[in-house]
Structure 1
Amino acid sequence: MDGSVGPTGSQASLREANSARVVDTVKRYGHITQVELAAATGLSPATISNIVKQLTAQGVVQTQNTVRSGRRAQMVTLARRTGLAVGVYIGRRTLRIDVSDATQDVTAGQVFPLPVDHRVDTTLDRTSLLIMELVEGLGAELPEIVGIGVALPAPIDPDTQRVSVRGIMRDWDDVDVRDVLSRRLGHRVVVDNDANMGALAEARYGALRGCHEGVYVRASYQTGAGILIDGRIHRGQRGTAGEIGHVQVDPQGAICQCGGRGCLNTVVGADALVDSLRISRGPLTLHDVISLAIEGDPGCRQVIADAGSAIGTALADLSTWTDPQRIVVGGELAQVGDVLLAPIRDAVRGRPMLASADIDVLPSILGDRAESMGALALAMDRFGQPYAGQPSSDRASSPSPTQEEK
């Protein structure tokens, strides 16, 4: 009797664990083909097929026909909503909030402009109110939220989830954003750096999908990078990994917000770009510079191209250390396209150590949604309720899309 019960029980446990793994993977990626499920979980195509059939019969997932690489494939998604997650990006001049269910399709969102040096209390009050309005607009209630993710334009300590370097976000240094929003909304909150969240979102849904070693760089009012190593976000001990905006590029340059002299942000940040055009163009905003560059203004295109060269040099250094497959460029400056991207490519590919690396430099697919979508995905990972009680994975990247459905 013992000899027959043991294996049967073990097989049942294995089937349950495999089912949990499949549902957790579908939840993380929102929609995924069966072949991609096999690559992400390590299970055989036959096992995946059987599990998907069982989960479909149970009403947990649903399938539909699609085409990948010119071949028919079965796309798998969750069949029902399993709670709402909220992704918040609090930028230097923009507040963006996205609300989604576990399928990872954004169901509600709003963008709100912020003034220069916006106050902490006012911004967090507005964030709380907008979240409540968006959830109510969906016909849902706050208890349906499983968690809230927040992306901030500063290095965030992975343990305390507070800004880890003083001065980078003025007046936010001593504020526990996680605690403030958690108390106001009654839900768990996770806080991370904006470039890290951009990297997570692009790995799940965008230009870093299928890439296990990659970099997402946010070129905006300031510049930062999110780094993928073995498919995971690399944050470092204090959350300062990827802070290329604070790499020194001019030993005699201006003092940066971090206290250092001649950081990259003092050369390519919004203030530097606008100031360099003041004599020839008069008072401008970063939005003005970008719009004029898109329209063909030679001066505005030149300062953005120069910024691309400087950012590219910093990324070439970073690439020498991390050896990425792909670099994805987002943020406001990326709207200008190859005016910014071409000098970055030239700087990276012109480095002898990287000449044969064939590193792709691509624009962000998600655009200005990347940071809030990454925060939303992180909240679902951390706080969502996976099938059969299995913990969510921290893995950021998705299975390679190059495999063909069989």
Structure 2
Amino acid sequence: MNAGLVLDTLRQSSPLSVTEIGVMTGLSRPTVDAAVEDLSRLGLVLPADGSTVTRRGRPARRFAFHSSAGYVVGIDIGYEAVNVVVSDLNGEPVVELSRPIPFSATRRRRIAEVRRTAFLAVERAGAAPASVLAAAVASPGIIDTTSGRVIFCSALPHWSDFDLRSELTDALGWHVEIDNDANLGAVGERWKGLARSTGDLVFFLVGGRIGAGIMIDGRLVRGHRGGAGEIGFLDMWDEARTTKGSLASATAATVAELVGWGSATPSRASLRAPSEGDLEWGIDTRAVLEAARGGSRRARSDLERFLASTSYVLATMAMLLNPSLIVLGGGSADDVLLSPLRDLLARLTHDRMSAPPSLAASDLGERVIALGAVRQALDYVESRLLDHL
């Protein structure tokens, strides 16, 4: 217990002398000396001045936490890529690596590619696989975080009812934590992004994949069996109301201004009821916007539907959860779509909320989810660091 207290103190404030550690922890000098010797033997503490660690009694010795005594790995399994971040024990990224995966890849191939990418990233970090103390993995779908099983996932083929933790534990040989990608996006945003000063946050994945990570008072809201934040009602709303009425007209006017052509009247394609093969909500918004600006009527109607439904979901979350901040993330949340969504959100929440949330685009790009996975792996390791070593 004493060693753990000294270790936590050095992790938060390094370097420190034995006397300073004693003042900060309330431990006696002999106790601090003994703890530092144990931690040094385990490789978790190094002399800050380059001297060797010797028996107690030497004055003015200063020590620092050895952040490279081990590593954690954050893995984001996307639809068409795997993103990996290798971090030291201070949470500083050492290597970031992304590799493509075909969307149609089988379970076996996707797991094999995750393994190759993770091991290659660890190798590039100059570390041995055995020095990895834990990995956390972000996956689309509804996740049972206790068992590490993907309960349901409509986004990836063959990904539902899948014991992802067991597969990756066998493939990697590390302790593995599993969570939903949008949830870990919220964790990454709170840790390294725009939400560092707020505990009430919705992280909204926009573009190639869709979902929401919800934080209230700094804690993730997972819901029953991990289903909170699944935006399945986007299509239901599309069928019900976004194709007509004042929101459709406002969206059409917004899109006409964005793409530089067309009228403020909703396009015929966006007015008809959606059918099989129509717009799926996991879209590359950049490609759709570019195509619409190039004159594609189909892309223009897709953009209308996307903005209308997305603004409706944002307004619903704003009024239901009352977060102080909504962050759009996932790489496709272009700044060019941020202003239209702000305007539409303001329109929908006008006279319905006393304090609407701020809406911002993440500045962490695609890496936000893998960074959230790093934070989750660190949370697991930090409370067990002495046990690991």
1:175-223 deviation digits (Å, cap 9, x = unpaired): 2111111112211111111110100000001011111111100002232
Q: Does structure 1 residue 194 correspond to structure 2 residue 181?
A: yes
Deviation of 1:113 after TM superposition, in Å, equals: 1.5
Aligned mates of 1:196, 1:345 — CA distance in 2: 26
Aligned mates of 1:195, 1:340 — CA distance in 2: 19
Name the residue aligned to 1:72: none
Aligned mates of 2:332, 2:305 — CA distance in 1: 12
Which one-letter code corresponds to 1:331 in the other structure? Answer: G
Contact 1:218 1:331 in 2 (8 A): yes
Using a 3 Å threshold, how does the CA distance of structure 1 residues 290 and 150 change in structure 2: closer, same or farther?
Answer: farther
Unaligned runs of 5+ in 2: 15-19, 37-43, 49-63, 242-272
SS of the residue 1:250 aligns to: helix
Match of 2:378 among 362, 377, 380: 380
Name the residue aligned to 2:361: 363
Name the residue aligned to 1:101: 88
SS of the residue 1:171 aligns to: coil
Provide TM-score, normalisation by structure 2.
0.70
Q: Does structure 1 residue 314 correspond to structure 2 residue 313?
A: yes
1:92-129 deviation digits (Å, cap 9, x = unpaired): 11211111111212111211122122211011111112
Structure number with larger C-alpha Rg: 2
Which one-letter code corresponds to 2:175 in the other structure? Answer: R
Match of 2:129 among 142, 156, 172: 142
Contact 2:210 2:282 in 1 (8 A): no
Contact 1:313 1:344 in 2 (8 A): no
Name the residue aligned to 1:249: 237
Q: Does structure 1 residue 177 correspond to structure 2 residue 164?
A: yes
Name the residue aligned to 1:288: 287
Which one-letter code corresponds to 1:179 in the other structure? Answer: S
Using a 3 Å threshold, how does the CA distance of structure 1 residues 268 and 244 change in structure 2: closer, same or farther?
Answer: same
Aligned mates of 2:186, 2:366 — CA distance in 1: 13
- For this pair of structures, how many residues does the alignment match? 320
SS of the residue 2:333 aligns to: helix
Deviation of 1:342 after TM superposition, in Å, equals: 2.7
Greater shift after overlay, 364-373 or 152-161?
152-161
Aligned mates of 1:287, 1:319 — CA distance in 2: 25
Aligned mates of 2:367, 2:76 — CA distance in 1: 9
1:238-293 deviation digits (Å, cap 9, x = unpaired): 1110112445213469xxxxxxx989x9756246xxxxxxxxxxxxx766335557
Aligned mates of 1:206, 1:49 — CA distance in 2: 34
Contact 1:86 1:100 in 2 (8 A): yes
Contact 2:201 2:214 in 1 (8 A): yes
Match of 2:210 among 195, 199, 223: 223
Q: Does structure 1 residue 269 correspond to structure 2 residue 281?
A: yes
Greater shift after overlay, 131-140 or 233-242?
131-140
Q: Does structure 1 residue 338 correspond to structure 2 residue 336?
A: yes
Name the residue aligned to 1:325: 324
Match of 1:239 among 223, 226, 232: 226
Aligned mates of 1:378, 1:287 — CA distance in 2: 30
SS of the residue 1:109 aligns to: strand
Which one-letter code corresponds to 1:316 in the other structure? Answer: A
Contact 1:98 1:110 in 2 (8 A): yes
Using a 3 Å threshold, how does the CA distance of structure 1 residues 49 and 230 change in structure 2: closer, same or farther?
Answer: farther
- Residues 5-84 of structure 1 aligned to structure 2 (within 5 Å): 26=12, 50=24, 79-84=66-71
Aligned mates of 1:205, 1:326 — CA distance in 2: 15
Contact 2:315 2:345 in 1 (8 A): yes
Contact 1:207 1:365 in 2 (8 A): yes
Greater shift after overlay, 173-182 or 157-166?
157-166
Deviation of 1:338 after TM superposition, in Å, equals: 3.4
Using a 3 Å threshold, how does the CA distance of structure 1 residues 332 and 139 change in structure 2: closer, same or farther?
Answer: closer
Unaligned runs of 5+ in 1: 1-12, 33-45, 64-76, 254-260, 272-284, 391-406
Aligned mates of 1:380, 1:194 — CA distance in 2: 17
Which one-letter code corresponds to 1:380 in the other structure? Answer: L
RCO greater where, 1 or 2, for CA within 8 Å and sep 6 or more? 1
Name the residue aligned to 1:206: 193
- Residues 102-181 of structure 1 aligned to structure 2 (within 5 Å): 102-165=89-152, 167-181=154-168
Aligned mates of 1:49, 1:359 — CA distance in 2: 43
Percent of aligned positions with the same letter in both sequences? 26
Provide TM-score, normalisation by structure 1.
0.67
